[in-house]
Structure 1
Amino acid sequence: MNENFPNLELSPPLFYSWKIGIRFELGVDYNSDCAFDNSPYLQGVYKRAVTLFKSLHSHSDDILIIVDVNDYGDSFKHKPKNFSPYIKEKSVLYGLNQKTIPYIFPEDDEEGTYKTHRFTLQCKTSDFRYIPMLKAICNHDIGVRPSVFNRVYFININRKTIFHIYDDRGCDLLATSPETIRDVYDKYNDWILDYDRNEIDEVFK
């Protein structure tokens, strides 16, 4: 992580913290009537999220799954359930590491009492059920279950990319080189968030 993305803080909005990246739009034409299980809106979100993930991660790639769990000092559980439902072989979970870092949103912690617990698991793409996990991440803000309520980052060690779904609206893709993700930029250009398109196009000129 530090070798490929030096001085990068894993905290949203990730796209604005690194010079090489793409911000994709996942959710299109949302309204309050879309917030139900398997709605056409959510089906569109799932399709884009899964398609982008598959385009970035082969089954044999080594990846780091990083989950940040915020601790407000009330009812923190030291073993989050973000991993176990999605890991195919439970023995893979023996490699789960945890460390406590300063709260990732310090501007919201005036008294300095909050913390963030960062869980890291290294595995192969083929070791976990990424489709239901991606769907659960997208479900968070919609209020649909199952949901993953914590921030999740997928770091591809082989391809040197970081993939982060910030909510059902969109996701960020970071890389160490434009050439690494040019194929994704070209193939899914229509999904790029228009708000940041000019900045993104400059990277791939």
Structure 2
Amino acid sequence: MNTHFPGLELVPPLFYNGDIGIRFELGVNDESSNCREGSTYLKEVDHRAITLFETLHPQEENLVLVVNIYDYRAFKRNLRLFASFIKSRKVLYQLKHTQIRDVFTEKDEETEHKTHRFILSCKTKDIRYQKLIKAICRQDLGIRPSMKHDVFFIHQKNHTIFHVYDDRGCDVVAASTEAIRPLYENDQSWILDYDRAEIDATFKK
């Protein structure tokens, strides 16, 4: 991380914290308040998020899956949280847990709060990524299964980080523009208009 993303914290908003990145819009037409499983809104959210993920992460590629859990109470390691998203118990048992300073507290502020971070090295094919991405997209919609924690997919070879923050959008950051240029060129219509000018400038340098 420090070699390719110096100073970058794994915390949202990833796009605004990174030097090179794209922010994509997943949910369109502002229908989230009335959506249900199988709705046109959710189908488009799922399609965009999964398409972007699969473009970046071929099945045999090595990934690091990082999950931040912001629980200010005593937290006990619980593999059941991840079991339905990881295909193999052998892979699941390699999950590592660490406790770090609360990532949302300024470094010069005192805090007793902690972020519980889970890290798993695996391949794309080891993850039920479609199920996991759908769960992330449903975190604020009252639809189960849902994943309310921040999940980051780090591509070890291409040095990219992929983060769906909820049904509204997805951030992709990279160590170089070439690593994510295919997304920029092929999925132009999905780029969030609010940040389009900044993103265009980055890729036209």
TM-score calculated relative to the size of structure 2: 0.93
Instruction: State the match for 2:128 in structure 1.
Output: 129
Instruction: State the match for 1:150 in structure 2.
Output: 149
Structure 2 residue 32 is matched with structure 1 residue 36: no
| Runs of 4+ residues over 4 Å off in structure 1 | none
Aligned 1:123-202 pairs, distance under 5 A: 123-202=122-201
Q: Tell me the percent identity.
A: 51
Q: How many residues align?
A: 202
Structure 1: tracts of 5 or more residues without a match: none
State how far apart, in whole Å, the 2-side matches of 1:173 and 1:82 are. Answer: 25
State how far apart, in whole Å, the 2-side matches of 1:33 and 1:88 are. Answer: 33
- How much does 1:98 deviate? 1.0
AA aligned to 1:169 is R
State how far apart, in whole Å, the 2-side matches of 1:54 and 1:166 are. Answer: 17
SS of corresponding position for 1:140:
coil
RMSD: 1.5
State how far apart, in whole Å, the 1-side matches of 2:43 and 2:76 are. Answer: 31
Judged with a 3 Å threshold, the aligned counterparts in structure 2 of structure 1 residues 33 and 102 are, in CA distance, closer, same or farther, namely closer
TM-score calculated relative to the size of structure 1: 0.93
CA deviation string 1:91-117 (max 9, x = no partner)? 00121111111112216xx87232100
Instruction: State the match for 1:87 in structure 2.
Output: 86
- How much does 1:50 deviate? 0.3
State how far apart, in whole Å, the 2-side matches of 1:154 and 1:3 are. Answer: 17
Structure 2: tracts of 5 or more residues without a match: none
Judged with a 3 Å threshold, the aligned counterparts in structure 2 of structure 1 residues 179 and 35 are, in CA distance, closer, same or farther, namely same
SS of corresponding position for 1:131:
helix
Judged with a 3 Å threshold, the aligned counterparts in structure 2 of structure 1 residues 145 and 194 are, in CA distance, closer, same or farther, namely same
Instruction: State the match for 1:4 in structure 2.
Output: 4
AA aligned to 1:175 is A
